[in-house]
Chain A
């Protein structure tokens, strides 16, 4: 059993719903207890879709458990097929139905429906949402593109005629994806500018017939490996289609992406690259951004967004990454490799409490994370911006706000810098303390009054939580005492770096076996670590 305050991912059947809802003409019959229809709200409320997700639930109750739940499932499947007349159907079980073992796949074979039925095996007690989405897309593609696959694999695709434009598939955008809608628009634009046609976008907007045409493209653009990497590998094996590896988040990565796509399409990227200008590059270079240099950021999210954010943070905005982690265990390797680049310990966990402990320990000046890190940042009084799912309704905005491409880089600049205190205010607070309005514990004034309460509650983590955190990793708690004078001096350090200063000084004292931290120790430590 795992104590979970917040979970980064839903159960795998929610991943399957994300694929079904993204597509057209497919229906998902889910064996699930009454109440699991809450998942519809993710799509109708959080993503604000104007239609019901194409999902039929059996919604069995306690009284059904004594009877024939299998019959209940068969009725639901038959009725769904008649009512919605889909071109393909997916069937599966949620976590509770998995326990009662009715075998939806087998039951559907017995029904002998007139359409392809994909039986999904999604182990709810081992796997999670992204795995569910990835597996579902893979199984759908295998089933629907499968018959053509054997033929395609046996021969090489004919050379493209010289007048014919190269074609690619775009794989990954799904329902309930963090900014998938706008990322897709950006990437379509980039690809069109290169003179490449888009064959199929999947799963977003694709029909079963579209999936059957996947093999006709020259290569695949994989935007979200968490969802589409498995499918892309299968397409490589069966159709010989190469796929992109670069994730076009950030201006530099977007340029790399353009070069990679052009190379796969056999085109010259020069013109596209010369024309490509990102505003964020100039904004980050302008003197107003100098104070961003070396700001200590903690990055957490799905592997794709976390790795991309760390690169943008360091190379494009000049921050220092002090922590990097992901909840996507399937992509832990990528994150470990990236962590090496920044000399930080990778944090691979889906345990919210572990992430919280790490943030409390590192005391970053900015947290780039998910909706869950916003809870952590609120508790610790740290600025925070969202870079990855899970997200809530405010991160499905009406305005165009991609993360990918050059416009995406502009969005990232605005979003990440916004929660930080602006330069002038930061300077003045460093110089004059005790102002009744602009005091060092107050939230940045450009964020208005509403945030002041949050930031002033807990500048340093409550003693309890640090001790918990330390106790969990098993380190003995030995902290030198603070002389009153030194403690007072510590309070003069602006709040966003104070936690770090306290930690450094304590470590310095501890390393030297000093029982008491004096004013001298504080400044010795400052000189020692001089940031």
Chain B
């Protein structure tokens, strides 16, 4: 068995497929939502949104079902007095941050997160961050990024956050060996699996961004090769390249095929020989392929429609089409990053309808006309579409669940079989 499933040279997949670009109402989250998972990943970081009551309301509506003894995010709500003059707003911000840090002395990294209102009134949070960093250093480092809806869509919040972190990463020693950096927040269990796989190949050292603690930042420099674990990290990639790091081109580690090619990209870059790669991955690969077979029975031939949400749509569609035999009706994405998705697009079945951006009403019309077997969409659309008799898979879960790597391939497939099975199970 060859370690890599070859890309058939005869087909370029969707590399040159024209993309339907639409503008209109976009039914998506803003980048602030990224805080919901980032605060769990970096346990000593705190996220302070500078925004309006709407921003505070968004975050608590998303996360407030959990009961917190001590939440690790908050909002500094701008009021009329702040709108009157900017100098005052800066003093106010300093006061709020001081109040916050007095309450939470264990915080090591504070993110000031920009929002639509703070962007529109041009409140300079980067200057505020460097000012506050001086005041509270060395115990607390203060950074800023924008999670505003006008600039970021959902997972782009993570991109903006990590991009803000990159300039603060330490530089490795000049004679340090080449190192691998895996970029994108992954579930801890997935991170541990990848660490083991790389170790088994004799590949290392491997570090992850974001780290679990803000005090354990990985080094980055010209010796760094990085692998994107998530498709929505355009700015982070640019920032890493500015530090001299080089991206390893690969599809994303979703499904057996994606994971294998993703690992292979690192293995090739670090000169891991084919035998060692095979030894390290063979059992996990076989296990994952076996587990997927059960889901293939359920999913093969089923028609699926993706509404734009997280930019994970293209890699997931590739996995569902190639490994589970699903038919892609439309794959919508908030943004298509041609370069980062090049390998993914080449793997997509040719002729797939791709759309970028959204006019939600027209897209709903297309969806209703097509009547797919499964619709991947946000929670604002899921229940209404279910009530119309369509089966849905709410897309946010794809960001909150461990889905990358071999041992999660079947879990990822199950996320799509579950709503179909449920529909069969519930009588009438």
Interface residues of A (CB under 8 A from B): 1-7, 9-11, 13-14, 33-42, 44-46, 48-52, 56-62, 64-65, 76, 79, 83, 94-96, 99-100, 124-126, 128, 371, 374-375, 378-379, 390, 392-394, 454, 457-458, 464-465, 468
Contacts and interface: CB of A to CB of B under 8 A. Distances in A.
A264 B58 CA distance: 43
Interface stretch (B253-261, B266-274, B281-289, B376-384): B376-384
Contact of A59 (B25, B96, B121, B386): B25
Contacts of A96: 52, 54, 116-117, 120, 149-150
B25 A3 contact: no
Given A7-B53, A10-B57, 10 more contacts: A2-B77, A4-B75, A14-B54, A38-B30, A44-B380, A44-B383, A79-B361, A96-B117, A96-B120, A96-B149
Contact of A99 (B57, B117, B153): B117
A95 B82 CA distance: 14
A428 to B, nearest CB: 28
B263 to A, nearest CB: 35
Interface string B44-61: 000000101110111011
B395 interface: no
B79 A1 contact: yes
A301 B345 CA distance: 53
Interface string B353-394: 000000001000000000000000011111110110000000
B26 interface: yes
Interface residues of B, number: 65
Nearest to A43: B380
3 cross-chain pairs, A with B, having the tightest CB-CB distances, nearest first: A35-B30, A35-B149, A50-B387
B26 A7 contact: no
Contact of B83 (A45, A62, A125, A378): A125
B71 A375 contact: yes
A523 to B, nearest CB: 33
21 contacts: A1-B92, A3-B74, A4-B53, A4-B76, A7-B56, A10-B57, A33-B149, A34-B30, A34-B149, A35-B116, A44-B379, A56-B25, A95-B52, A124-B53, A126-B80, A128-B53, A374-B67, A375-B71, A378-B67, A454-B69, A464-B103
Contacts of A374: 67
Contacts of A454: 69
A13 B378 CA distance: 21
Given A35-B28, A48-B383, A378 B119 contact: no
B5 interface: no
B102 A1 contact: no
B363 to A, nearest CB: 13
B387 A34 contact: no
A125 B26 contact: no
Contact of B52 (A11, A34, A46, A64): A11
Contacts of B169: none
Contacts of B54: 10-11, 13-14, 36, 94-96, 124
Contacts, number: 194
A458 B70 CA distance: 12
Given A1-B93, A33-B148, A374-B67, A42 B78 contact: no
Contacts of B58: 35, 38
A10 B79 contact: no
B75 to A, nearest CB: 5
A1 B149 CA distance: 21
Interface in B10-57: 25-33, 50, 52-54, 56-57
B47 to A, nearest CB: 12
Nearest to B78: A1
A37 B75 CA distance: 19
A392 B65 CA distance: 6
A105 to B, nearest CB: 20
A3 B54 CA distance: 14
Nearest to B150: A62
A230 B174 CA distance: 71
Contacts of B53: 4, 7, 9-11, 95, 124, 128
Contacts of A2: 76-77, 79, 96
A392 B70 CA distance: 18
A44 B69 contact: no
A22 B77 CA distance: 28
A41 B80 contact: no
A33 B30 contact: yes
A464 B104 CA distance: 9
Nearest to B149: A35
A458 B31 CA distance: 34
Given A34-B30, A50-B384, A3 B100 contact: yes
B1 interface: no
Contacts of B30: 33-36, 38
Contacts of B71: 5-6, 375
A97 B136 CA distance: 35
B119 A62 contact: yes
A379 to B, nearest CB: 4
A2 B50 CA distance: 10
A83 B361 contact: yes
B62 interface: yes
B103 A468 contact: yes
A46 B387 contact: no
A38 B62 contact: yes
Contacts of A58: 25
Nearest to B62: A38
B422 interface: no
Contacts of B69: 375, 378-379, 454, 457-458
Contacts of A60: 150
B153 A34 contact: yes
Contacts of B153: 34-35
Given A36-B149, A40-B27, A79-B361, A6 B379 contact: no
Nearest to A1: B92
Contacts of A379: 69-70
Contacts of A39: 57
B64 A65 contact: no
A527 to B, nearest CB: 35
B216 interface: no
A50 B383 contact: yes
B117 A95 contact: yes
B288 to A, nearest CB: 32
A34 to B, nearest CB: 4
B95 interface: yes
Contact of A34 (B26, B56, B80, B121): B26
A32 B384 CA distance: 22
B89 interface: yes
Nearest to A38: B58
B99 interface: yes
A37 B25 contact: yes
Contacts of B102: 468
A457 B69 CA distance: 10
B206 to A, nearest CB: 35
A454 B89 CA distance: 38
A126 B83 CA distance: 11
Contact of A52 (B50, B83, B384): B384
B28 A1 contact: no
Nearest to B53: A11
A60 B379 CA distance: 20
Interface in B72-120: 74-80, 82-83, 89, 92-93, 95-96, 99-100, 102-103, 105, 116-117, 119-120
Contact of A375 (B26, B68, B148): B68
Contacts of B149: 33-36, 59, 61, 96
A513 B304 CA distance: 76
Contacts of A94: 54
Contacts of A59: 25-26, 149
Contacts of B200: none
Contacts of B386: 50
B397 interface: no
A457 B67 CA distance: 14
Nearest to A42: B61
